[in-house]
């Protein structure tokens, strides 16, 4: 929840936000009355938002989405014991946590890409997070899940390329947090505090530097094309999509994207 606040408002979360993140019944953390890029998009003519995935969005933004289908974001692991049925229950639960939530998001994607009544479409997948918590980032379940996510990104991007009503669509792929080698997050480790971010659109090809991907592995930790603050996402969306920067924003427009404009 604190990271979603940073992404949507451009502000820095408070310590209280971290505490409230664990209170599923809490409603005081709602951003309904705060200026966010969601409220700016929704206030544009014909503004309509749709959302599928982590129900934290529904708690932060109640009554905001025209269509929605939220699922619980909390991963619950069951302790092993000697009872065979308990072991089988754990295996089945893990498989569901890894796939069912994401499948519930993906089943809406193709249909929504055909619709012309939304100007904001949020998909918050949870499988990678759940796999990480269960067995860490090097789990054998990671690569199949990453391939699954690749196929979703490919479907959306190809739709943007060929469907006239999507020609001005910006696809943003990002993580709200990373994880350490144990699959946990919340600390100050590089893996935890350095989630990925990609802005994608055929219109960005004109300024793309053609980054190599993937980069060669290194023993010196993570490698980056560039680094930005999470609070920079909100003003960058505002500049690219043409709406006011959220009121409490502390971030800046991503400099690499300034070359989209030929004049100062």
Q: Give the pLDDT confidence of 183-199 residue by residue, as tens digits.
A: 778 778 888 888 999 99
pLDDT at 79: 43
pLDDT at 20: 55
Q: Which residues form the domain of 148?
A: 2-260
Q: Give the pLDDT confidence of 17-69 residue by residue, as tens digits.
A: 555 554 445 555 577 778 999 999 999 988 999 999 988 889 899 989 999 99
pLDDT at 264: 67
More confident residue, 244 or 180: 244
What is the pLDDT confidence band of residue 117, given thresholds at 50, 70 and 90?
Answer: very high
Averaged pLDDT, 147-158: 97
- With a pLDDT cut of 70, the percent of the chain lying above it is 84
- What's this model's pTM, rounded to 2 decimal places? 0.84
- Window from 16-30, 53-67, 90-104, 162-176 with minimum mean pLDDT: 16-30
| CATH of residue 31 | 3.40.720.10
What is the pLDDT confidence band of residue 80, given thresholds at 50, 70 and 90?
Answer: very low
Q: What are phi and psi of 57, to 5 degrees?
A: -60, -40
What is the average pLDDT value for the chain, to the nearest integer?
Answer: 84
pLDDT at 172: 97
Over the chain, what HEC string results? CHHHHHHHHCCCCCHHHHHHCCCCCCCCCCCCCCCCHHHHHHHCCCCCEEEEEECHHHHHCCCCCCEEEEECCCCCCCCCCCCHHHHHHHHHHHHHHHHHHHHHHHHHHHHHHHCCCCCEEEEECCHHHHHHHHHCCCCCCHHHHHHHHHHHHHHHHHHHHHCHHHCCCCEEEECCCCCCCCCCCCCCCHHHHCCCEEEECHHHHHHCCCCCCCCCCCCCCCCCCCCCCHHHHHHHHHHHHCCCCCCCCCCCCCHHHHHHCCCC
Instruction: Tally the domains of the chain.
Output: 1
């Amino acid at each position: 929840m604190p990271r979603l606040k940073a992404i949507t408002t451009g502000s820095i979360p408070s310590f209280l936000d971290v505490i409230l993140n664990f209170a599923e019944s809490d409603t005081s953390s709602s951003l309904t009355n705060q200026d966010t890029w969601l409220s700016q998009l929704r206030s544009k003519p014909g503004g309509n938002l749709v959302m599928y995935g982590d129900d934290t969005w529904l708690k932060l933004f109640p009554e905001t989405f025209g269509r929605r289908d939220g699922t619980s974001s909390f991963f619950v692991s069951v302790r092993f014991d000697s009872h065979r049925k308990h072991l089988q229950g754990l295996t089945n639960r893990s498989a569901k946590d890894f796939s069912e939530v994401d499948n519930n998001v993906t089943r809406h994607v193709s249909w929504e890409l055909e619709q012309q009544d939304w100007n904001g479409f949020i998909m918050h997948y949870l499988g990678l997070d759940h796999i990480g918590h269960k067995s860490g980032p090097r789990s054998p379940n990671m690569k199949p899940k990453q391939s699954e996510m690749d196929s979703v990104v490919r479907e959306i991007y190809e739709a943007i390329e060929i469907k006239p009503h999507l020609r001005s669509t910006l696809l943003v792929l990002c993580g709200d947090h990373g994880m350490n080698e144990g699959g946990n997050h919340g600390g100050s480790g590089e893996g935890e505090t350095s989630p990925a971010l990609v802005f994608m659109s055929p219109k960005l090809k004109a300024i793309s530097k053609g980054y190599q991907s993937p980069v060669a592995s290194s023993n010196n930790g993570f490698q980056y094309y560039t680094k930005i603050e999470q609070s920079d996402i909100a003003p960058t969306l505002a500049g690219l999509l043409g709406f006011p920067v959220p009121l409490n924003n502390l971030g800046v427009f991503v400099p690499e994207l300034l070359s989209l404009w030929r004049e100062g």
